[in-house]
Amino acid sequence: MINKERYQRQIILKEFGEAGQQKLRNARLLIVGAGGLGCPALQYLVSSGVGAIGIVDFDVVDLTNLHRQILYTVDDIGKPKAIVAEAKLKLLNSEIKITPYNLKLDNQNALSIISNYDLVIDGSDNFTTRYLVNDACVLLNKPLVYGAVLRFEGQVGVFNLADKNGIKANYRDLFPNPPDSDSILSCNEIGVLGVVPGVIGIMQATEAIKIITGIGEVLVNQIVTCNLLTNSSFKFNISINVNSTLLIPKNETEFLNFNYKFFCGTNNMDHEITYAAFDKLKSTSSFTIIDVREFNELPEVNEFKFLHIPLSDFENKILAIDIIGPIVFYCQTGKRSSIAVDIIKNKFSNCEVYSLRGGILGWKNYHNKIIIKNDRKEN
């Protein structure tokens, strides 16, 4: 039973009515990202009576989030956003079924999570997730309410929802590929005025409510850009781009094998690294090391953790693995690892990937010399 008193002020709207409230109650909506866009969108969607809401976020609350992520307080710093958001939103409206997903959305879990929902709101903060969510929504045929912000500006649009001619555009029809890594600007580096994601997130929530209840004019196949410093806005009409349609995985298997981290890599540097640079990088945990030698080649490596993908089977295996951070390839002498870098660079020019110069033989030799040198000093 719907608590009519709670929603009385919107039920009395003749365009909305009890039918609109019932449609909201029956809806299942997923928000990707409980940050600057997600927080205000969630607060209004929960207050408005959307029946079931999923929240995906792997991140924890940070002090620098609080100027725009208004669900959280200083007491929440260090706690997982999805879990904190669920607790706060339950207090706001206990009638709503809220499901937190305290995880990073990736191509392995996206389809099973998104398929539980009727509609998706993208409130993420990176291109990897944005392309992943877009492609998953295209595959699963789910409407996607897109929103993004930077500095004093924001963009809102609705994708993968048929207009009156049956046309469904998506994010790739506007931006077929992610921007080059060195031109990527983020809120972390460039900044954003706290109210900007508030306005854009609430516009996303509004579009979601309009889609669910069937009222008003939805931004189907359109994107609006708003500059809050100048109070100006501009609407773009998007049509289907045949070439970008070809870029989207065609089925679940292609999606599971499409490495979005490579596709939207965030760095572009010189490919060869020295032993000293390798050792320094190796000490950071967010790094993937891959041995591209054939199995059983000596010397064995037990000085650090690595994945093993022989070059002979490289192109089949590499797209399916889950990488963390940048990648370093190594082989015996550095030749095959350079080929591995070239293969990756040809497919994904933005990917941050290195070859260990001189290979594992050289690296072991280098360490032996350091040990010998130290021994001599001690003697």
Partner 1 sequence: MEIKILAFGEIAEVIGNSEMKINDLKNTNELNVKLIELYPALASIKFAMAVNQKVVQSITMLNNADVVALLPPFSGG
Instruction: Name the site residues for partner 1 (rule: CB under 8 A).
Output: 33, 35-38, 122-127, 130, 147-151, 153-155, 173-175, 177-180, 182-187, 190, 192, 197, 223, 225, 227, 230, 232, 234-239, 241, 243
CB of 154 to partner 1, least distance (A): 7
CB 127 to partner 1: min, Å: 5
Alpha-carbon distance 91 to 47, whole Å? 10
Query: Is the Cβ of residue 37 or residue 158 nearer to partner 1 in the bound state?
Result: 37
| Nearest distance in Å: CB 12, partner 1 | 34
Q: Which is nearer to partner 1, 245 or 274 (CB)?
A: 245
Rank residues 156 and 273 by Cβ distance to partner 1 and give the closer one.
156
Q: Which residue intervals of the chain are DSSP H helices?
A: 8-11, 17-26, 38-48, 81-92, 110-114, 127-140, 171-174, 187-190, 195-213, 242-245, 252-257, 260-263, 275-282, 314-317, 335-347, 359-378
Q: Measured from the CB atom, is 126 or 333 closer to partner 1?
A: 126
Q: How far is the CB of 279 from partner 1 (least distance, A)?
A: 32
The DSSP symbol for 377 reads H
Residue 80 or residue 359: which is nearer to partner 1 going by CB?
80
Question: Pick from 204, 108, 82: which is nearest to 147 by CA?
Answer: 204
CA dist 367 and 284 (Å) reads 19
Cis peptide before 299 (omega within 30 of 0): yes
Looking at the Cβ atoms of 97 and 235, the one nearer to partner 1 is 235
The CA-to-CA distance between both ends of the chain, in Å, stands at 84
The radius of gyration of the chain's CA atoms, rounded to the nearest angstrom, is 24
Tokens, residue 205: 């929530």
How many CB atoms are located within 10 Å of the residue 132 CB? 25
**In the complex, least distance from residue 54 CB atom to partner 1, rounded to whole angstroms:** 17
Burial of 270 (0-12, 13-18, 19+ CB in 10 A): exposed
